[in-house]
Amino acid sequence: MTARRWLFVIWGCFFARTAFYSAALPLWEGFDEWSHFAVIRRMALRGEPLVPRDSPVPRDVAASLQLAPVPWALRASPLPSLTHDAYWRLPAAERADREAAFRSMPARWAFEDSAGSLAAYEALQPPLYGWLMVPVSRAAVRRGLADEVLWLRLVSSAIGSLAIPLMLLVGRSVFRSDAVALGCAAVVAAMPEFSFDVARVGNECLAVVLFTLLTWLALEAVLKGLSYRRAAAIGVVLGFGLLTKAYFLAAVPAIAVLAAYALWRSEGQRLRVLFGALIIAAASFSISGWWYVRNLRTTGTLSGLNEAVMLKGTGQAAILHRAAEVHWVRAVDTILLSHLWFGGWSGLTVRSWMYHLFYALMILAAIGLVRAIRQPAVAIAAVIYAWFWIGQLYNVLLLFLSKGMSGSMGWYMYAVIAAEVTICTAGLRALAPAKWKPWVPFAGAGLFTLLDLYTVHFVALPYYTGMTAHRANGALAVFHLHDLAPVGISGVFARLDAFKATIVSKPLLVVLWAAYLAATIALPAICCARRSDARL
């Protein structure tokens, strides 16, 4: 089969995986999902292109948070709101009454504000993702809240899936090998937390795609020359990225460093490179500059995010001066842990040795990178990745000073997943003997496949269906096969169907699960099938 056909197989596997995630994940289990949804709703039904950050959420959203089980992160919510732990301890009749009340919410509640204190706080995010989701929301709103959430999840998954073909392009630019590039795409498609991240209502799916596209354009521009067309493309993508997620600010210095490198090595064409850099700046600012000027005027900060607003009276020197107070080892561990697998908003985790296995591979990749970074393409990917890490560590500092926590959100790292997978692959291939180089993508996809199958079947689904619960110390109880007996396999799919879209049913969930299982297992098999072409 040609590389294009293999790509469509990998892409299809990812679609099958995220379709199951979108249908099976409980309502609002995605990170900040209900607030992202509330912002889209106000844009779609109130005609508000820019939603005030203190806007009340729709009445049906507020009611759903009282009727359906909520993520563990919302365990402090007042009654009658209940976490999955408490919900599945209710008598069956009371659970049925709650779901019946959810199904019978009047359609007009979608157009009414809630009376409580819940606010659509995700309105502080740049608006591009919300604008794109407005037609989907308008088309699905009459079908009910659960249906609207499902369609928004599916469209978000479709957007996020574009990272798979873009990963192939990045891999080709770095390795000049279709087989290795396809292996990198399969690794990304197998990552369980990435599927969690894009199969929800939230702007991360669009941000990942735009950052991956920006990574490929930067590679092409430095390796082949910064033409005016490439400069315009970089500026447009960067501008749209800045209108999607504030962490694109970390891409600005990375692009500046790469432009400086292109200027240094372009003897005789420096004027052309300078004009190209100006085109990048002008294009990105013309698209997104108004948003950041608006942030400065309304919040006194560039990003407009809560942590920055809370610290706006503190100078940068004072912020950096307190960096020594942060527990940096714990912060980095939190980022890596929640990047590899953190479940959904219930903060589910696995045994520490599983994370440490991946940490060991990261260390080996970093050692090999010392040798591999001599390749210009690997060095470019490393620059993009390093600057994003600098942004993450600065966010750790802001979170520590504003909220007292040493950590940051590891799922943000999927923005630079193309750079991450390519430099890790390059580093591991640099260390591996020649006969083992073709097996590097297979090993990556295989490990993530095992992690995905374990976390879905032994952590996430048991928790979401009431077979496990948190202990008094907050740790999640370990699932044992005898915990399945009171519920049964049929009961698992029946419980997954609770508070879901009308199209979702127990038979459909079984079909989606079977497709997910086949697709997940197929990804390392594809890497194995292509290994003979990955010897370069």
Q: Is residue 136 part of a domain?
A: yes
Confidence at residue 531, expressed as pLDDT on a 0 to 100 scale:
57
Q: Is residue 400 part of a domain?
A: no
Which structure tokens are listed for 305? 């995010």
Provide DSSP, 198-252: HSSSSTHHHHHHHHHHHHHHHHHHHHH---HHHHHHHHHHHHHHHTT-GGGGGHH
Q: How far, CA to CA in Å, does 270 sit from each of 227, 284, 383, 494? A: 12, 21, 21, 65
Please identify which residue in the block is written with the tokens 């108004």: 290
Contacts of 432 (CB under 8 A, 6+ apart): 439, 440
Q: What is the pLDDT of residues 105-132, one digit of tens each?
A: 999 999 999 988 899 999 999 999 999 9
Confidence at residue 536, expressed as pLDDT on a 0 to 100 scale:
45
Rounded to a whole number of angstroms, the distance between the first and last alpha carbons of the chain is 19
**What amino acid is encoded at 135 in this protein?**
P
Provide DSSP, 505-533: -HHHHHHHHHHHHHHHHHHHHHHHHTGGG
Q: Is residue 59 part of a domain?
A: yes
Q: What is the pLDDT of residues 59-82, one digit of tens each?
A: 999 999 999 999 999 998 998 999
d(CA 446, CA 443): 5
Angle at 72 between CA 161 and CA 78, to 5 degrees: 125
d(CA 443, CA 180): 12
Confidence at residue 336, expressed as pLDDT on a 0 to 100 scale:
96
Domain with 86 in it:
31-158
Q: Is residue 54 part of a domain?
A: yes
Confidence at residue 1, expressed as pLDDT on a 0 to 100 scale:
66
Using a cut of 0.85, tell me whether the model's pTM lies above it: yes
d(CA 62, CA 41): 13
Q: Is residue 62 part of a domain?
A: yes
Structurally, how many domains does the chain consist of?
Answer: 1
Contacts of 536 (CB under 8 A, 6+ apart): 175, 176, 177, 180
Q: Is residue 202 part of a domain?
A: no
Q: Is residue 221 part of a domain?
A: no
Q: Is residue 194 part of a domain?
A: no
**What amino acid is encoded at 409 in this protein?**
M
Confidence at residue 47, expressed as pLDDT on a 0 to 100 scale:
92
- The low-confidence residues of the chain, meaning pLDDT below 70, are 1, 267-268, 530-536
